[in-house]
Structure 1
Amino acid sequence: MKRKVFYSSKGLWEEREEEMLEEVPLSVYVNGFKLSTLFRTPGEDEALLMGLCFTEGIIREKEEIASMRIGEDVAEVRIKGRYKGRSEPKGIEETLRELKRKAIVSLKPEGERVRVDQLLECTRVMESSQRLRKRTEASHAAMLFSYKLEPISMAEDVGRHNAFDKAIGKALMEGRLDEVFIATLSSRISFEMAKKAAMIGVKILVGTSRATSMAVLLGEELKMTVVSVTKTGDVILYTSSLPPMIR
């Protein structure tokens, strides 16, 4: 989407044409119950819905999706099992207990220790793949890497949660979630982002902004290494009580 804007440089105004990132609402229903309204960048909606249903614990396999109907502003997902609607928010202790039961991060192999320069390279690969970011300077990105540090999937979106769900949905649709080792994010690591990572078994979660206290607590509880990469190329390791995954 392009729009005429007024641009000021050195005190002078000029009219330019600017490419803008689209942000469009999509109300998501699962078996007739409203799950959420997402403000997302249109495109890859099937992967977005697949990833969202997985990270919300609604499905565990892609085959559990019976059908999807995606309209301009409404998406209807039918799953083969029962779905009673979204439950009320829980306290932190109950949330952690539920995540320990559902998340697969602690069940996956530890993998080899990763060097700092390898982590930095993963973030560089993600950033170099951000085509929307280069055009609009407005998108977030998420990328999944295998135990061999090879890219599995990548997605961009106006919302960081949506970008992560799209990347997760792509990996799920391709049957590659079991291969996921590292996830890189072009954003801070919040509790919700850490929760999504834990649900798919990420062992090392890397953000290009800082982590929140709840995200670090979740990482400690579920044995997931949480790392931030600074703009100067330094690395911050938050989950120091875990076995060292980074050398």
Structure 2
Amino acid sequence: MSTLNYEHKGGIAPTVSLAETSYRDGLVKETSRFVPEEVPIAFSYGGSTQAVMMGTPADLEDFAAGFTLTEGIIASIAEIEGIEVLQEGDGLDVQVTLAEDKEDALRARRRHMAGPVGCGLCGIESIEQAMRPVPDVSGVDMLLSAADIARASNALNSAQPLHAQTRAVHGAGFYVLGEGLVAVREDVGRHNALDKLAGAVMRAGRTGAEGVVVVTSRISVEMVQKAAILGAPVLIAISAPTALAIRTADAAGMTLVALSRGEDFEIFTHPHRIRFE
């Protein structure tokens, strides 16, 4: 699978070098710095826009596939028949062609939408949908050592080309025991990075049950929902979770590991998947 290198399509570079004035150690210096680009990215189905996200213009086909899955529009990658990225002014339009029955279902869903959509919980129609139940991953067998947790987190920290260049994007990685980190995706938005990762995993013909999702951000409920929809039994983060994220992971049978830094981490749900030597 395409693993650690980002894919750039659509005519807009994911980073740009800009002039700046730096002040360090008491010295003023005129220099330049790479910063991440942030553009509107529209997801269109059947000629109609479903959502517009602000994001990094890289790995857009993965982004479209992952978004379409985690927002409940499809249940498998086989239901996507095509993805095309078009530049539209200052933004990008990612046009997704679905199987006919999914196109019909989405049109019916769109007719009942009451308001606009936005980042994180896109395309939802009600409070009930925001609090939607997530897939049960309690039956997925996986056993990690404490060293595996540290390896996954440390590997992600050193496998982010956009973050290394800009120090300003989130990362999401897929870690497989015996293989290591097999995919990494980055974006200025943490939800976007996870959607891109989900798309990369699906498009490579793998399932979330084969590995562990590790992210560089805090864990909100949407991050747990997206990881569970992918089918991942373990979610690891370098920052802390919210209370709702913990309750949601517990209900899903997911092992939630947070504050993973160096050799240290904290387990909030289902610790039976972690062994201590």
Instruction: Give the TM-score taking structure 1 as reference length.
Output: 0.89
| 8 Å Cα contact 1:96/1:218 also seen in 2 | no
- Quick one: structure 1 residues 165 and 178, their matched pair in 2 at CA, closer, same or farther if it must change by over 3 Å? closer
1:137-183 C-alpha deviation (Å, 9 max, x unpaired)? 01111011235463332111111111111111111111111553311
Q: Which residue of 1 aligns with 2:125?
A: 88
| 8 Å Cα contact 1:6/1:15 also seen in 2 | yes
1:43-74 C-alpha deviation (Å, 9 max, x unpaired)? 21001000110111111221211222321222
Name the amino acid aligned to 1:245.
R
Q: Give distance in 1, aligned partners of 2:234 and 2:27.
A: 47
Matched, 1:146 2:183: no
Alignment of 1:113-152 (within 5 A): 114-148=144-178, 150-152=180-182
- Quick one: structure 1 residues 34 and 54, their matched pair in 2 at CA, closer, same or farther if it must change by over 3 Å? same
Q: Which residue of 2 aligns with 1:203?
A: 233
1:230 Cα deviation after fit: 4.3
| 8 Å Cα contact 1:152/1:171 also seen in 2 | no
Q: 1:110 aligns with which of 124, 141, 148?
A: 141
SS in 2 for 1:49: helix
Q: Which residue of 2 aligns with 1:79?
A: 98
Alignment of 1:1-247 (within 5 A): 1-72=16-87, 73-80=92-99, 81=102, 82=104, 83=106, 84-85=109-110, 86-91=123-128, 95-97=131-133, 99=134, 103=135, 105-106=137-138, 108-112=139-143, 114-148=144-178, 150-177=180-207, 179-231=209-261, 233-239=263-269, 242=270, 244-247=272-275
1:32 Cα deviation after fit: 3.9
Stretches of structure 1 that go unaligned for 5 or more consecutive residues are none
1:232 Cα deviation after fit: 5.6
Q: Give distance in 2, aligned partners of 1:149 and 1:204.
A: 16
Identity of aligned residues (%): 27
1:105 Cα deviation after fit: 2.3
1:25 Cα deviation after fit: 1.0
1:189 Cα deviation after fit: 0.8
Name the amino acid aligned to 1:16.
T
Q: Give distance in 1, aligned partners of 2:271 and 2:238.
A: 22
Count of residue pairs the alignment pairs up:
238
With 154-163 and 79-88 compared, the bigger mean Cα shift is at 79-88
Q: Give distance in 2, aligned partners of 1:142 and 1:158.
A: 11
Name the amino acid aligned to 1:117.
A
Q: Give distance in 1, aligned partners of 2:228 and 2:46.
A: 25
With 33-42 and 124-133 compared, the bigger mean Cα shift is at 33-42
Name the amino acid aligned to 1:227.
V
Q: Give distance in 2, aligned partners of 1:118 and 1:153.
A: 16
SS in 2 for 1:57: coil
| 8 Å Cα contact 1:191/1:214 also seen in 2 | yes
Q: Give distance in 1, aligned partners of 2:196 and 2:185.
A: 6
Q: Give distance in 2, aligned partners of 1:71 and 1:209.
A: 35
Instruction: Give the TM-score taking structure 2 as reference length.
Output: 0.80
- Quick one: structure 1 residues 142 and 178, their matched pair in 2 at CA, closer, same or farther if it must change by over 3 Å? closer
Q: Give distance in 2, aligned partners of 1:180 and 1:212.
A: 26
Q: CA RMSD in A?
A: 2.0
